[in-house]
Structure 1
Amino acid sequence: MKNKLTKLFAGMVLAGAMTATAQAATLKMALDADPVSLDPHEQLSGGTLQMSHLVFDPLVRWNKDLSFDGRLAEKWERVDENTMRFHLRKGVKFHSGNEMTAADVKWTFDRLLTSPDFKAVFEPFSGMNVVDEYTIELVTKRPYPLVLNAASYIFPMDSKHYSGMDDKGQEKGLLKKHADTYASRNASGTGPYTVIERQQGVKMVYDRFDGYWDANSPGNVDQIVLTPIKEAPTRVAALLAGDVDFIAPVPPTDHKRLEKSEGTDLVTMSGTRVITFQLNQNRVEAFKDKRVRQAIAYAVNNEGIVKKIMKGFATAAGQQGPKGYAGYVEDLKPRYDLKKAKALMAEAGYEDGFTITMMAPNNRYVNDEKIAQAVSSMLAKINIKVDLKTMPKAQYWPEFDKRSADMMMIGWHADTEDSANFTEYLLACADEATGWGQYNSGNYCNPAVDKLVKAAGSETDPAKRAAMLQEVEQTLYDDAAYIPLHWQNLAWGASKKAGIEEVVNVMDFPYLGDLVVKE
Structure 2
Amino acid sequence: MRKKHGIIMALLCMLVFVLTACGGEKATTAPAEKDTLVVADGASPTSLDPRAANNNVSSRVMVQIYDTLVEQDENIQIQPGLAESWEQVDDVTTVFHLRKGIKFHNGEELKASDVKFSLEAEKASPQTSEIMEALKEVVVLDDYTVKVITEYPFAAILNHLAHPASAIVNEKAVKEAGESYGQHPVGTGPFKFVEWQSGDSVTLEANEEYYKGASSIKHLVFKNVVETTNRTIGLETGEIDIAYDIDGLDKIKIAEDPKLNLVEDLDLSVTYLGFNLRKAPFDNLKVRQAIAYAIDQQPIVDTVFQGAAFPANSIIGPKIFAHSDKGIKYQQDLEKAKILLAEAGYKDGFKTEIWINDNPTRRDIAVILQDQLKQIGIDAEVKTLEWGAYLDGTARGDHQMYILGWGTVTADPDYGINALVTTKAMGAAGNRSFYSNPKVDELLQKGRATTEPEARKAIYEEIQVILQEELPMFYIIYPKKSVGMQKYIEGFKFNPAGHHRIYGVSFKAE
Paired positions, count? 478
- DSSP-derived class of the 2:268 partner: strand
RMSD over aligned Cα atoms: 1.9
Query: Residue type of the partner of 1:157?
Result: V
Q: Hey, what does 2:311 align to over in structure 1?
A: 316
Q: Secondary structure at the match of 2:403?
A: strand
2:232 equivalent in structure 1 = 236
- What residue is the counterpart of 2:499 in the other structure? 509
- Counterpart of 2:368 in structure 1 is 374
Residue 107 of structure 2 corresponds to: 97
Kindly provide the CA deviation profile for residues 194-239 of structure 1, in whole angstroms up to 9, marking residues without a partner as x.
1212101112211111221212x6x411111222110111110110
Q: Give the superposition deviation at 1:73.
A: 0.8
Deviation at 1:323, TM superposition (A): 1.7
For residues 345 and 260 of structure 1, the distance between their equivalents in structure 2, rounded to whole angstroms, comes to: 47
User: Any conservation in 2 of the 1:303–1:334 contact (CA below 8 Å)?
Assistant: no
The alignment partner of 2:290 has SS state of: helix
For residues 388 and 277 of structure 2, the distance between their equivalents in structure 1, rounded to whole angstroms, comes to 25
Q: Is contact 2:260-2:487 (8 Å) kept?
A: yes
Matched, 1:49 2:59: yes
Unaligned segments of structure 1, at least 5 residues: 1-16, 165-171, 174-180
Task: Summarize deviations over 1:107-144 as a string: whole Å, max 9, x none.
Answer: 11111111112111111121111111001111111111
> Structure 1 residues 57 and 210 mapped into 2: Cα distance closer, same or farther (>3 Å)?
same
Indicate which of 138, 153, 170 corresponds to 1:143: 153
**Pick from 170, 174, 177: which aligns with 1:162?**
174
Paired residue for 2:201? 203
Name the residue aligned to 2:300.
305
Distance 2:384 2:66 in 1: 32
8 Å contact from structure 1 (residues 427, 444) kept in 2: yes
| Paired letter, 2:504 | D
Which structure 2 residues correspond to residues 427-438 of structure 1 after superposition, within 5 A?
Answer: 427-430=421-424, 438=429
Query: Which SS does the other structure have where 2:158 is aligned?
Result: helix
Map of 1:269 onto structure 2: 265
Contact 2:260 2:484 in 1 (8 A): yes
- Find the counterpart in structure 2 of residue 13 from structure 1: none
For 1:339, the equivalent position in structure 2 comes to 335
Contact kept, 8 Å, 1:19 with 1:26, in 2: the verdict is no
8 A Cα contact 2:241 2:486, kept in partner: yes
Counterparts of 2:355 and 2:425, CA distance in 1: 23
Alpha-carbon distance change, 105 to 442 in structure 1, aligned in 2, over 3 angstroms: same
Q: Which residue, out of 397, 407, 411, partners 2:405? A: 411
How far 1:431 sits from its partner (Å)?
5.4
CA distance in 2, matches of 1:66, 1:516: 23
Which residue matches 1:326?
321
Question: Is the 8 Å Cα contact of residues 195 and 205 (structure 1) preserved in structure 2?
Answer: yes
Contact 2:61 2:222 in 1 (8 A): no
Residue 334 of structure 1 deviates from its aligned partner by 4.5
* Corresponding letter in the other structure for 2:212: D
Q: CA deviation at 1:19?
A: 6.5
Matches of residues 368-407 of structure 1 in structure 2 within 5 Å?
A: 368-407=362-401
Output the amino acid matched with 2:380.
V
Query: Structure 1 or 2: larger helix share?
Result: 2
**1:18–1:26 CA contact under 8 A, matched in 2:** no
Structure 1 residue 331, shift from structure 2 partner = 3.8
One-letter amino acid of the counterpart of residue 396, structure 1: Y
- Partner Cα distance (1:418, 1:135) in 2: 27
Q: Is the 2:261–2:484 contact (alpha carbons within 8 Å) kept by the matching residues of 1?
A: yes
Query: Is residue 420 of structure 2 the alignment partner of residue 449 of structure 1?
Result: no
1:31/1:225 Cα in 2 relative to 1: closer, same or farther (>3 Å)?
A: same
Contact in 2 for aligned 1:317/1:334 (Cα 8 Å) = no
The CA deviation string for residues 327-352 of structure 1, in whole angstroms up to 9 with x for no partner, is 32234445222221112112222111
Residue aligning to 1:291: 286
> Contact 2:195/2:202 (CA < 8 Å) preserved in 1?
yes
Residues 334 and 272 of structure 1, relative CA distance in 2, 3 Å threshold? farther
User: Contact 1:274–1:411 (CA<8 Å) still a contact in 2?
Assistant: yes
Matched residues in 1 for 2:471 and 2:189: separation? 42
1:97 maps to amino acid: G
The structural deviation recorded for 1:374 is: 1.5
The offset of 1:394, in angstroms, is 2.8
Q: What is the alpha-carbon distance in structure 1 between the residues aligned to residue 277 and residue 196 of structure 2?
A: 39
Give the secondary structure class of the aligned counterpart of 1:505.
coil
Cα contact 2:93–2:147 (8 A) shared by 1: yes
State the TM-score, normalizing by the size of structure 1: 0.88
1:225 aligns with 2:215: no
Equivalent residues of 1:74, 1:87 under 8 A apart: yes
Q: Is the 8 A contact 1:274 1:487 kept in 2?
A: yes
Please give the secondary structure, in 1, of the residue aligned with 2:194: strand
User: Residue 415 of structure 2 is aligned with which of 412, 421, 432?
Assistant: 421
CA distance in 2: counterparts of 1:442 and 1:36, whole angstroms: 21
Deviations 1:63-112 (A, max 9, x none): 12221111111011111111111110100001111111001111111111
SS of the aligned residue for 1:234 comes to helix
| Match for residue 346 of structure 2 among 319, 327, 350 | 350
Work out the percentage of aligned pairs sharing the same amino acid: 27
Letter in 1 for 2:412: D
Q: Is the 8 A contact 1:205 1:226 kept in 2?
A: yes
Q: Which residue is equivalent to 1:6?
A: none
The 1:20–1:491 alpha-carbon spacing in structure 2 relative to 1, beyond 3 Å, is same
Partner Cα separation in structure 1 for residue 126 and residue 138 of structure 2: 19
Equivalent-residue separation in structure 1 for 2:419 and 2:457 (angstroms): 19
Q: What is the CA–CA distance in structure 1 between the aligned matches of 2:94 and 2:319, rounded to whole Å? A: 26
* Distance of 1:337 and 1:428 partners within structure 2: 30
Distance 1:18 1:30 in 2: 18
